[in-house]
Amino acid sequence: MRRQADIRAAREQGQRLDCRAFTVWRRDRKPDEAGGTSGRAAVVASIAAVGGAVRRNRAKRRLREIFRRHQNALPPGCDWLIVARAAVNRRAFADLEKTFVATCGRNSPTAANG
């Protein structure tokens, strides 16, 4: 996601999932909305929550990579807003990855049905 309107819609209309080191908002897109059927993501890290530029960039790189690795396991046609917290740079990558998969997989409609 690149447009501010998409990010705002994900935050305002989406379902909030708390992952402790980061927060995820999941919003199902309507069939008539642009973006196709693949999942889209936006990763946000603020100065107040994460720190300076180096820390923010590292947090965003880590979260983008987790999404990239597991996007095929997530339900299609969803917007994902991932907001980093300070703990994202202190936790091991494997731990972050496991938390993301457990939280997002548990709250997906395909996990409940299948």
How many Cα atoms are found within 13 Å in the side-chain-facing hemisphere of 44?
Answer: 19
**What's the average model confidence in pLDDT over 24-29?**
91
Q: What is the pLDDT of residues 89-102, one digit of tens each?
A: 999 999 999 999 99
pTM for the whole structure: 0.84
What H or E segment, with its residue span, contains residue 109?
helix 109-113
| Percent of the chain residues topping a pLDDT of 90 | 66
> Do 81 and 1 form a contact (C-beta atoms < 8 A)?
yes
- Could you tell me the domains of the chain? 4-92 (3.30.230.10)
Cα–Cα dist 89/5, whole Å: 28
Q: Bridge partners of 82?
A: 24, 43
CA–CA separation, 27 and 9 (whole Å): 8
Q: Nearest Cα to 80, choosing from 94, 93, 91, 68?
A: 68
- In eight-state DSSP terms, residue 26 is E
